Amino acid sequence: MSRVVDGVLKEWGDRLFYSPVKGKKGRNVRGGVSRPSPPSKPHSSAMVKDRLARTTGKAPEVMVKISGGGKNMGQIKAHLDYISRNGEVELEDENGAILHGVDDVREVRDAWAKGKIGIPKEGERRREAFNIILSMPPGTDRQAVKDAARQFAAEQFGNHQYVFAAHEDEKHPHVHLAVKAVDKSGVRMNPRKADLQAWREHFADKLRERGIAANATPRRVRGVVHKAEKQAVRWIDKEHQEGKRAAPSKSRAGRAAAVAQELAGQGAHVNPAEQAITERRKKTVHAYGQLARALAQSPDDADKQLALNIVGFVKAMPPLQTQHQEALAVAQRERGQGRGGPAPGQQKGAEPAPSRLPGDKER
């Protein structure tokens, strides 16, 4: 592959898969010293191609999320009880020690509360621990997920006190990881969006080392518009649909009210994020186009096939619709008022997916 093509892959691969890292700070609770987030690591053209192959091949996406975190020892103890199922499920700490039973859980609580930088028994001044969930889709080897989580935690939080537990009671294998916010050097963890993406990539790396197909791409790279709804919101709406609650979640009720208002001709709903969503899609499609064109110039047949896979992947991206637009479309169909609009997967102002690549013949 020529140096020019190699350079294009690295440049546009970085633009596609990574956003600029913003200045998150983690403070040292003793001296006020701060620590910036590490910059994104450089990527070779081979790594970019590997990631493109995983993405266009729709490799399973890892899930890493912060589900909460205690602000006092009482809240932290309650979470430890939950992930250990009151001592019935074993915990493993940062030293590799296996903890089982209520007495062991109590020892963890005491060790965290009475360390060099302790945790108050009550009060809610600041978050003293982070509850992190590491998850993969159903069917993924559970032992591999647990082993990958163990190594991820050791490498990512090696200077922190932490415990983790693997849960076997749901279809998707997942691990609950509880990390003390302040590390052994006195630096308080303060994760931001860029850190979560870095954690996803790290966890996916550990899974691939164990032969598990795993990817960690941002939503925009997959053409996904909506953020995942919070679990509490999903449960509220589920119980409402089952007749167990009188009203749906506030977010669903708000969308319903906005749709009703628009259908009644009382003004169109204005989404301040809509322009940003459209702009992100345009940039994403443009980056894919640059990568596909570069790969099409390669003498390697595998690179040419990857270019075609990129084109097909972009064409199949989901429609660029907000939740309000989707709810409005459903309401219009139900009332027989369907209107014409953008073609599926395309929004006014969005750059269309390239139908052919340089050098392709008409078919």
pLDDT by position in tens, the chain (length 363): 577 788 899 999 999 988 654 444 444 444 333 344 454 555 789 999 999 999 999 999 999 999 988 999 999 999 999 999 999 999 999 999 999 999 999 999 999 988 778 888 888 889 999 999 999 999 999 999 999 999 999 999 999 999 999 999 889 999 999 999 999 889 999 998 889 999 999 999 999 999 999 999 999 999 887 666 565 666 676 777 888 888 877 777 777 777 677 777 777 766 666 778 888 899 999 999 999 999 999 999 999 999 999 999 999 998 776 666 666 677 777 777 545 444 444 444 444 444 444 444 444
Q: How far is it, in rounded angstroms, from Cα 350 to Cα 320?
A: 9
- Cβ atoms within 10 A of the Cβ of 140, count? 20
- What type of residue is 108? V
Backbone angles phi, psi at 67, to 5 degrees: -95, 0
Q: What is the CA radius of gyration of the chain?
A: 24
Element (H, E) at 35: strand 34-36
Percent helix / strand / coil, the chain, rounded to 5: 45, 10, 45
DSSP 8-state symbol, 226: S
7/18 Cα distance (integer angstroms)? 16
Strand partners, 288: none
The helix-helix angle for 73-83 and 102-113 (nearest 10°) equals 150
What does the alpha-carbon distance between residue 178 and residue 84 come to, in Å, rounded to a whole number? 11
Q: How many helices (H) and strands (E) does the chain have?
A: 12, 8
Q: Which of 335, 307, 318 is nearest to 223 (CA)?
A: 318
What does the pLDDT read at residue 358?
A: 40
Dist. CA 165–CA 85, nearest whole Å: 10
Q: For the CA atoms of 12, 14, 19, 22, what is the dihedral angle to 10 degrees?
A: -130
Asked if 89 and 170 touch (Cβ cutoff 8 Å), the reply is no
CB 136 within 8 Å of CB 98? no
C-alpha to C-alpha distance for 93 and 150, rounded to whole angstroms: 9
Q: How many CB atoms lie within 10 A of CB 254?
A: 12
pLDDT of the residue at 252:
75
Rounded to whole angstroms, how far apart are CA atoms 94 and 106? Answer: 16
Residue 338: alpha-carbon gap to chain centroid: 34
Distances in Å between the Cα of 169 and the Cα atoms of 17, 150, 155 are: 34, 19, 27
